[in-house]
Structure 1
Amino acid sequence: MTARTEQEKRFSREELGRSLLEKGCMTPAWAPAFEAVPRSAFLPDLMWPHDMETSRSAPVDRSTDPEAWQAYADSDQPIVTQWDDGTHQGTEPGTSFSSSSSMPSVVFSMLKDLDVREGHRVLEIGTGTGWNSALLAHRLGASNVVSVEVDGAVAQAGREALKRFGLPVEVVHGDGYLGFADRAPYDRIIATCGLRSIPRAWLNQMTPCGVILTPWGTYYGPSEATARLVVAEDGRSASGLFTRPVAFMRMRSQRRGWPQHSEYVPAGAMDAADVSTTTVGEDEFSSTEGFRLAGFVIGLCVDNIVHLADRKENGKRAVWFYGLSDKSWACVVFRDDRKESRVYQSGPRRLWDEVETAYRWWEGNDRPGYERFGLTVDDAGERAWLDSPDNPAALAL
C-alpha cells in the first residue's frame, strides 16, 4: 500500500480532535492546546510512521510527498523520529527505534491522567520531539515546564522546535532518572519512556500530594501500564493505581539485553534438569510482544525473571524463563497434541513453579485487569498490589 493510498484512510486534524474528544482520550480542557499546538510543528522532514497492526515502519519525506507527510502528522499513529540511538543513516528504517512521537490518543490520555492545574510546575522525562512539552507549556506557561532528554541531538532538536514555536521550555540534556533538582519542587512529573524502577530522586523533587505519571513494567516481558502515583504528605512514599496499557521505549539507563542462553543452559543441562508437567495453556505464553495482561501480572508477582517464546514448529513451542539474580532457568514445551506440557527446571529457584503459582493466583481472583493493580514506592523499594496496598501481589508466591 502506498503512502498516498494510506493517506486517504486517515483523519484530518479536525477530525482527529473530534475523535479524541468523543472517545474520551482528550478532555475539553486540553482542546485549546490541541488546536493551538499542531504535532506537525515538531516533526522532522524525514520520519517513519509505525503501523501498529503490522509492526512495520516506512519512511515519509515532506520534501517528496508533503501531502502524505501531513496526513501522517495529523493521524493517530506513532511516528519514529530516530533509530539506533542516532547512529542510523539513510531513509530506510534502522534496527531499533530510539525516539518517537507517540500516538495523540496516548499523549492526551496521559495528560488527562496527569490532571494539571493552573500554576502547576511540571518536570517531563523524555523531551522527544518537544510536542508534549509544548502542549503543557501552552496550558501552564513555558516557565512552569522543564524537560530532560538523555540524547543530546534529540534534546537540541526539541529545544529548537520549542523556541521556534514560541514556547521556550527549558530542555536539559541529562539523565532523566536523576530528575532535575535545580528547578524542584514539582507538582507533577510525567515520563514519556518506560521505567522498570522509579527513582527516589523523583520523590525528593516533588511537592506533597504531587503526582508522578510514568509507564512502568517489569523485565519479565514488554507489558507495561501507566502508574499514577500520588506523593504522600511527608514526601517519603508515593502510591496509586495503574491507569492504562501503554508501550514506550525503555529509559536508556534501564535497558537490559536478553540473557545468553548458553550461560544458563549449557550442553547436557536439559538431561540433568528436574522434569515435571503442567496443565497451564500455551496462549498466555506464546508471544512476548505487545501488552498481555497475564504477562503484566506475572511480572508484578515474580521478581527478577525474563521469558522468551520460541517460534512454533511442527505443533511444538518452547517457552524459556531465565532468572536475573542467578542462573536459574526453566523451559515449558507446549504441544498441540497434548493437554499436559513438559517442564524442565534447574538452579536455586524453580522459576516455572513461581510463574505457575502467580498465574493460578490471578485465575483464582477472576483474572483482575490492570486497573485493579497498583504500585507503592518508598524507602523499602517498590511493591505491587491488588485493589489495596494492604493486599500485595507478592502474596501470590
Structure 2
Amino acid sequence: MSGESSPATLARRLTEAGHLSPSWRDVFAQVDRKRFIPDRIWIHDEGRYHPVNRTTAPASWNALVYDDRALVTQVEDEVPNEDDGGEAATALTPSSSASMPRVVATMLDILAVADGMTVLEVGTGTGYNAALLAARLGDEHVVSVEMDPRLADTARARLKDAGYAPTVITGDGGQGCPARAPYDRVIATYALHAVPYGLVEQTAPGGVIVLPWGTGLYNGVLLRLTVGEDGTASGPVVGDCSFMWNRQEAPERDVMATVRNQAAATATRTGLDPRDVFGDENAAFTAGVLVPDCRYTVGHGPDGEFTVWLADRTTGSWACVDYVPGATEYAGHQHGPRRLWSEVESAYGRWQDAGSPERTRYGLTVTPTGQHLWLDTPGAPGTPLP
C-alpha cells in the first residue's frame, strides 16, 4: 500500500500501471476520491470485514483511500465489540463499496464518452463516479440513480461539497430516468444478470451501455452493448469485473441453508474433478450460464480435501461433491427436483465440445422479449437466459 496521498499521485500511478487513458488522466487528478469516502471504511481480512476509522487511524484511512483498491463503505451485519465501547469490530456482509480506481478508469474508458454526450449512471454509490463524469462532461450532462435513500442523500451532499451538481435521483436504477432520455451512454456500477430493457429503450441508437454482468456461479464479466436502430442492444464481453449485485437479483448467500434431508439424498460418483469447473474461470462462466439460479460454496477439510456444495433455493435442490487429492472419481450427493451436479457436468461437456472458449468470446443480446448469450457471432441465436 503506497503512502502517497493525493488525487494527482493516484492518477499518476494508474497511468504508469496502464489503467488510465490520457483522456481521463486530468479528470482523475482533479476529482479527489477522498471527498467521497466515508469516515469509516471496511477492509476484508481472514474472512471478515474490519473497520478503519478516519478519526482513530487517519494515516491508515488516508493511505487506503488513495490506494488502488476497493473499499467497502456500508455493511449489513455489524458485530459490536463490547470491550471497545460498542465500536463495530467486524462484519460479514458488505452492501455498498467504492470500486477499485483501476476498475472505475477502465469502465469509463470503455464507455468512450465525448464532449456534449449525456450519460445515465445506474448506481450512484459514493458519488465519485458521477463526479468524474460531471468533471469530464459537465453537470447538466450527467444523471445518476441510486436506490438506497441514505446513499443518495449522502452522495448529493458530497457532490455539492466537492463542487459538482449532476442530477442524482433516488429510485430503482433499472427504471433509469425516462424524463431525461435519450442518453448517449449508460453505465451501471453494480452487477446485473437480467439487463433491464428500460435501459436499452432510454439509450439513443448507436449509444453504448457498459455494465458488470454475472451469474450465481460467476460474478462476473464486463459487457459493452451497442444499441441498434431496431431497439435491441448487443455486444461482447470485454473483460472481468466483480461487483456487488443489484439488490433485486442478489443470489442467496447462505448456500447451506438449502441443504436439508441429507439422509434422503441420492449418492453419486463423478469423474469430473470439481477444480476443472470452478478452478477455470472460462468453464465457471459457462457453467453459470447453463446452470441458472444456482449458487455454490466450498467447505475445506484436512490434507487438501474439500467439498463443493451447490444449491437452488427456489426448488430446494442441492448437490455436493467431495474432492480428495489423487482420486480419479469423486463421491457426492444430489437432492431435489434438479440434479445440480449433473447439470454442471453437462455444462462442462458443452463447453469442451465448443472448444473450451474463453469468456471474452461470448456476447449478449438484449431484446424487448428477453436476452440471450452468443458465442463469436454478435447477435446470433444462442442460449436464452432466464
Calculate the TM-score normalised by the size of structure 2: 0.88
Distance 1:101 1:17 in 2: 16
Match of 2:51 in 1: 59
Question: Do the aligned residues in 1 keep the contact of 2:125 with 2:155 (CA within 8 Å)?
Answer: yes
Matching residue of 1:228: 224
Counterpart of 1:35 (choices 29, 46, 56) is 29
The DSSP-based 3-state class of the residue aligned with 1:253 is: coil
State which of 95, 120, 126 in structure 1 corresponds to 2:92. Answer: 95
Alpha-carbon distance between aligned partners in 2 of 1:47 and 1:328, rounded to the nearest angstrom: 37
The equivalent of 2:240 in structure 1 is 245
Which residue in the other structure is 2:188 paired with?
191
Q: Aligned-residue CA RMSD in angstroms?
A: 2.8
Q: Contact 2:7–2:33 (CA<8 Å) still a contact in 1?
A: no
Q: Which amino acid aligns with 1:223?
A: N
Aligned residue type for 1:178: Q
Deviation of 1:366 after TM superposition, in Å, equals: 4.3
In the alignment, residue 242 of structure 2 is paired with which amino acid?
A: A
Report the 3-state secondary structure (helix = DSSP H, G, I; strand = E; otherwise coil) of the residue aligned with 2:89: coil
Flag the 1:62–1:303 CA change in 2: closer, same or farther, 3 A.
closer
Q: Which residue of 2 aligns with 1:73?
A: 65
Equivalent of 1:21, from 10, 15, 33? Answer: 15
How many residue pairs get aligned? The number is 379
Cα deviation, residue 321, structure 1: 2.5
Question: Where does structure 1 lack aligned partners over 5 or more consecutive residues?
Answer: 1-5
Where 1:252 maps in the other structure, the secondary structure is coil
Aligned residue number for residue 172 of structure 2: 175
Q: Return the offset for 1:240.
A: 0.6
Question: In structure 1, what is the equivalent of residue 39 of structure 2?
Answer: 45
Of 190, 198, 201, 2:198 maps to 201
Q: Contact 1:383–1:392 at 8 Å: present in 2 too?
A: yes
In the alignment, what sits opposite 1:3?
Answer: none
Q: Deviations over 1:250-307 (max 9, x none)?
A: 111212324775766415312xx2x5432222324567xxx94322221122233223
Alignment correspondent of 1:82: 74
The Cα of 1:390 is off from its aligned counterpart by 6.0
**What is the distance in 2 between the residues matched to 1:335 and 1:147?**
49
- Match 2:209 to one of 205, 209, 212: 212
C-alpha contact 2:41 2:73 (8 A) present in aligned 1: yes
> Is the aligned partner of 1:371 residue 2:367?
no
Verify the 8 A CA contact 1:188 1:206 in the aligned structure 2: yes
Mapping 1:297-316, distance limit 5 Å? 297-313=286-302, 316=305
Question: In structure 2, what is the Cα distance between the partners aligned to 1:197 and 1:361?
Answer: 23
Question: Which residue type is aligned with residue 82 of structure 1?
Answer: Q
Match for residue 83 of structure 2? none
Cα drift, residue 359 of structure 1 = 1.3
TM-score by length of 1: 0.85
| Long gaps (5+) in structure 2 | 81-85
More displaced stretch, 245-254 vs 291-300: 291-300
- Secondary structure of the 2:73 match is strand
In the other structure, the counterpart of 1:118 is 115
Amino acid at match of 1:41: R
> Which residue number corresponds to residue 139 of structure 2?
142
Q: 1:319 aligns with which of 283, 288, 308?
A: 308
The 2-side partners of 1:66 and 1:345 are apart by 51
Q: Secondary structure at the match of 2:248?
A: helix
Contact 2:270/2:330, CA 8 A, preserved across alignment: yes
Question: Aligned equivalents of 2:91 and 2:234: distance in 1?
Answer: 38
1:104 is aligned to: 101
Q: Matched residues in 2 for 1:69 and 1:259: separation?
A: 31
Which shows bigger deviation, 365-374 or 253-262? Answer: 253-262
Match among 126, 131, 144 for residue 128 of structure 2: 131
1:196 and 1:276 map into 2 onto residues whose CA distance is: 31
- Which stretch of the first structure deviates more once superposed, 185-194 or 385-394? 385-394
Whichever residue aligns with residue 102 of structure 1, its letter is S
Name the CA distance, whole Å, in 2 between partners of 1:341 and 1:39. Answer: 49
Judge conservation of contact 1:25–1:112 (CA < 8 Å) in 2: no
Identity of paired residues, percent? 39
CA separation of 1:263/1:282 partners in 2, compared to 1, >3 Å: closer, same or farther?
A: closer
d(CA) in 2 for partners of 1:378, 1:85? 38
- What's the offset of the Cα at 1:61? 2.9
Give the 3 Å change call, closer, same or farther, for CA 11–386 of structure 1 in structure 2. Answer: farther
- Whole-Å separation in 1 of the counterparts to 2:182 and 2:109: 21
